[in-house]
Amino acid sequence: MVTAAVNSWKLNIERADRFFSPLTEEQLRKEVAPGKNRLIYLWGHLTAVHDRMLPLLVLGARRHPEYDALFLTNPDRTAPTLPAAAEIKKAWDEINGTLLAGFEGLSAADWLQKHASVSEEDFAKDPQRNRLSVLLSRTTHISFHLGQTALIPK
């Protein structure tokens, strides 16, 4: 069961990686639709969201907390400068690699434990606020944004 969920995560990470990693700085400045997020923002956004999964799933400290202000808590075009594509690629690979190594060390019972942002009391009331649910919701989140990138004319 856990294998199916981790496989679904990996598949979506691979799809995102195949899409974003080969893009040039210029291509990364394209918007997914007129006036909407640029690709560089979406890539940094996914990286920031995945970075937050490290403490949330109790797999380690964040690597790039500074990505939040750039790609998550503020909309696109707020930050005067963004990291270079090569830097985002490095952060993306490091964070996703650390997550995957962490996933492989978790037992089925670990996945059903509470994630770090829910209290013991709230978890007792709703045991679905577990680590597996975080994994599944972050997997659909990748797919949500991949659907947007698919709209860009080739």
133 interacts with a copy of itself by CB under 8 A: yes
Q: What is the DSSP string of 66-134?
A: THHHHHTSS-TT-SS----HHHHHHHHHHHHHHHHHHHHT--HHHHTSBPTTS-HHHHHH-TTSBHHHH
**Interaction with a copy of itself in 94-123: which residues (CB under 8 A)?**
108, 111-112
The angle at the Cα of 36, spanning 52 to 55, to the nearest 5 degrees, equals: 0
Q: Measured between alpha carbons, how far is residue 18 from residues 11, 12, 22 in Å?
A: 11, 10, 7
124 interacts with a copy of itself by CB under 8 A: no
- Of 11 and 84, nearer to a copy of itself (C-beta) is 11
Between 19 and 58, how does the x/- string for binding to a copy of itself read (CB under 8 A)?
-------------xxx-x----------------------
Of 13, 39, 54, 132, the one binding a copy of itself (CB under 8 A) is 132
| Residue 31 beta carbon to a copy of itself: minimum distance, rounded to whole angstroms | 10
Give just the sign of the alpha carbon dihedral 72, 6, 104, 134. positive
Q: Which residues bind a copy of itself (CB under 8 A)?
A: 1-5, 7-8, 11-12, 32-34, 36, 108, 111-112, 128, 130, 132-133, 136-137, 139-148, 150-151
